[in-house]
Amino acid sequence: MLGSGGVSDGYEMVGSKRQRMIESNPYFAAVTANAAAVTGFQAAAGIQAPPFPVVRLRGLPFNCTDIDIFKFFVGLDIVDVLLANKNGRFTGEAFVVFANSIQVEFALQKDRQNMGRRYVEVFRCKRQDYYNAVAAEVNYEGIYDNDYHGSSPPPTRGKRFEDKEQMEYTEILKMRGLPFSVKKPEIVEFFRDYQLVEERVHIACRPDGKATGEAFVEFISAEEAKRAMNKDKMTIGKRYVELFPSTPDEARRAESRSRQ
DSSP string, 213-251: EEEEEEESSHHHHHHHGGGTT-EETTEE-EEEE--HHHH
* Whether 11 contacts 35, CB under 8 Å: yes
pLDDT at 140: 54
CB 243: neighbour CB atoms within 10 A? 24
Look over the chain and give the mean of its residue pLDDT values, rounded to a whole number: 75
Residue 116 dihedral angles phi and psi, to the nearest 5°: 65, -130
Q: Which residues touch 205 (CB under 8 Å, ≥6 apart)?
A: 211, 212, 257, 258
DSSP-derived secondary structure letter, 204: E
Residue 79 dihedral angles phi and psi, to the nearest 5°: -95, -40
* Whether 93 contacts 60, CB under 8 Å: yes
Is pLDDT of 232 > 80? yes
Mean pLDDT in residue range 57-62 = 90
> Which long-range CB contacts under 8 A does 225-229 form with residues at least 24 apart?
225/169, 225/170, 225/171, 225/172, 225/173, 226/169, 227/194, 228/173, 228/191, 228/194, 228/196, 229/161, 229/164, 229/165, 229/173
Instruction: List Cα–Cα distances, 160 to 2, 125, 163, 166, 240, in angstroms.
Output: 23, 32, 5, 10, 15
pLDDT at 28: 41
The whole model's pTM is what?
Answer: 0.45
- Give bridge partners of residue 172 from the DSSP assignment: 218
Q: Give the residue with greater pLDDT, 179 vs 9.
A: 179
pLDDT at 188: 96
At residue 165 the predicted structure's pLDDT band, cuts being 50, 70 and 90, is low
* Cα 204 from chain centre: 12
What's the N-to-C CA distance of the chain in angstroms? 16
Mean pLDDT in residue range 33-56 = 64
At residue 97 the predicted structure's pLDDT band, cuts being 50, 70 and 90, is very high
* Cα 236 from chain centre: 22
Q: Give the residue with greater pLDDT, 206 vs 214.
A: 214
Q: Which residues touch 174 (CB under 8 Å, ≥6 apart)?
A: 141, 214, 215, 216, 243, 244, 245, 246, 250, 251
Is pLDDT of 10 > 50? no
Give the sign of the dihedral formed by CA 216, CA 222, CA 225, CA 229.
positive
Is pLDDT of 75 > 80? yes
pLDDT at 6: 33
Mean pLDDT in residue range 20-38 = 44
3-state secondary structure of 166: coil
pLDDT at 233: 86
